[in-house]
Chain A
C-alpha cells in the first residue's frame, strides 16, 4: 500500500517536472528566436545555407575551402588553423602576401611581441602552406582599375 502511494506521488512529481521542462524549452526557443529572429530568417530564405549538410564538423571543407576560417584546402591547412587563428582572424593571414623570409620574420615578431608560442617543426609546414597558397602578387607602381561595376548614371 505504502509502495503504491509512493509511486502515485512520484508519478505526479514526474509529470509536473516534464511540464516544467517543456515550458522552459518552449520559452528558450521563443527567446532565442526573438533574439536572432532576423538572422534565422535570412538563413531560411537562403537555399545555399539550408542545403549545406551541417554534420557538426567544425573543420568541414566545402569546394576546397575550410568553411570556418575561409582558408583554402592544402597541405598544412589544419596546422595553420590551429596555430594562426587563435589570436587573430584568418582574414589577416589571407590578405597578407609574403615570401618565406618575410613570413619567418613576421613569425619571429609575433613570438617576440605577441605571445606566439614556439612552433617547432610546424613552422616549416605553416610557412610552406602560406607561400604555396597565398603567394605575393606583383602589382607594379600602379595597377589598372579592375572589377568595375558598370551602371547607368541617373542625374
Chain B
C-alpha cells in the first residue's frame, strides 16, 4: 500500500528521465495520469477500470462492463465501457485547447478557448445514457462485423458542461442548417494525419436540445482521458458514437454530415427490414437516430443460488433513447406470464430509470429471470433478436439471468 502511494508519487522528473525527454506541460497532467510513453500495457490501471471489465480490443482500446458491474444508479468511471475508433490523443494540452465552430451554415467561424467556454456560458449537469450502437452485436447470426459487444456497452454518468445550443447561437446558426458534425483530436489507426478515425454528428433538432452538452466534467471530475478529456460532445439516447470525444471543431452543415463513419454500413441500418445475411446497398441504409428501448438486470449477478424460503430482489435499469420507459416487467417462465416491476422516474430526460422487483419462486429448480421494458410509445423489447442488419446494431433483446432455487 505504501509502495503503491510511492509509485503514484513518482515525480515528473523521474518520468522525464525514463522517457528521455522533458514532459512539456507536465504540470498540466491530470492527477493519476501517466504519459502514454509510459503507459503500462495493463489497461485496467491505465484507464482506472475495474478488473472485472472485459477487454475486447487493445488497438484501438475497447472495453465493456458486465451486467452486475452496472448496478450503480450513476455509472462510475471504473465500470464505464470504452469504445474507441482510433488512437487516443497522445498530447492533450488543456491550457491551449480550443474549440472552433465553422461550416457552411455557421454565420462566422469562431474559436473559443476552453476557459472561455467555461466562463462565457452557463453550466448544466445531466445524467445521460450513452449506449454503443453495436451493444449486443455478438448475438447476431450470421455474425456481424466489428467489436463483439455483449451487453456492457452502456452507461449513465453525470455530465457537466455548457449547452451546445448556447455556443452555436453565440456563433450564429444559418437558416439552412441541417446537421452538426464533430471533429476530435484522436488519430487514425494507420497514423495517417489526413484521415479521421471518426467524425459523426446529429441533426440540428438534436443539437439544440437542452441536454445536448459540450461537457468538460464527468461525475463531478475532469472527464477521464479515455472518455474524451478535456471536451466531449454528449448527446444522450443516441448511439454513443455521436457523442464525440476530444472535440476541437464542430461544423454546422447545410446537409447531413458526411464525416468518417457517417456513410456505408457504419452506424446505419437497412431503411427497410432485410433477411439475415442479405446484402444491402449503401443507398438503402439509414443513419441510426434514437436508440431503442432496453433494460438490464444488474442485481443479482447471473448464477445466484438461494433457498426457496427466500424471495429474490432484482434490480436494474431501463432506458428508451429519446423516449421515457413507461413500464418494466419480469418473467420467470420464459415469457408465458409477466409481472410488473417497480419503476422510478428518470433523474432527468435521457437518464436511465431504475427498476426493482421482489420475486417468489413456486418450486425448487432452475429459472431464468427475464426483464422486458416498454417505452412511452408502447414498444417493448423483443425476447428474440430484433431485425438483422449488416453491422449488428440495435440489439435490444430482453436481458436475462440464470438462478437456482434450492
Chain A interface residues toward B at CB < 8 A: 31-32, 34-39, 87-89, 91-92, 95-98, 102, 106, 109, 113-115, 136-143, 145, 148-153
> A140 to B141, Cβ gap below 8 A?
yes
Closest partner residue, chain B, to A103 (CB atom): B145
Asked whether any CB of chain A lies closer than 8 Å to the CB of B56, the reply is yes
Q: Which residue on chain B has the smallest CB distance to residue A93?
A: B57
Q: Give the dominant DSSP class at A's interface.
A: loop
Q: How many A-B residue pairs have CB under 8 A?
A: 105
Residue contact A38 to B404, C-beta cutoff 8 Å: no
Residues of B within 8 A of A139 (CB): 139-141, 143
- Shortest Cβ distance from residue A111 to the other chain B in the assembled complex, whole angstroms: 11
* Inter-chain contact A91/B58, CB cutoff 8 Å: yes
The interface residues of chain A lying within 8 Å CB-to-CB of B57 are 88-89, 91-92, 95
Residue ranges of B at the interface with A (Cβ–Cβ < 8 Å) = 3-4, 6-7, 10, 14-15, 17-18, 38, 40, 42, 55-60, 138-143, 145-148, 188-190, 192, 195, 264, 300-306, 312, 368, 383-385, 397, 400-402, 404
**Is the CB–CB distance between B56 and A102 below 8 Å?**
no
Question: Quick check: A32 and B18 within 8 Å, CB to CB?
Answer: yes
C-alpha gap A115/B58 in the complex (Å): 19
Cα distance A128–B194 in the bound complex, in angstroms: 33
* B197, closest chain A residue (CB): A114
Q: In the bound complex, do residue B384 and residue A145 qualify as a contact, i.e. CB atoms below 8 Å apart?
A: no
Q: Which residues of A contact B58 (CB under 8 A)?
A: 89, 91
Query: Is A98 a contact partner of B141 (Cβ separation < 8 A)?
Result: no
Q: A89-B59, A145-B368, A150-B303 are in contact. Are A34 and B189 (CB under 8 A)?
A: no
Q: How far is the CA of A106 from the CA of B391 in the complex (A)?
A: 12
Q: Which of B15, B143, B385 contacts A97 (CB 8 A)?
A: B143
Q: Which of A97, A98, A149, A153 has most B Cβ within 10 Å?
A: A153
Please name all residues of chain B whose beta carbon is closer than 8 Å to the beta carbon of A39 when the two chains form the complex. Answer: 40, 42
B60 near A31 with CB under 8 A, answer no
Nearest CB of chain B from residue A58's CB, rounded to whole Å: 14
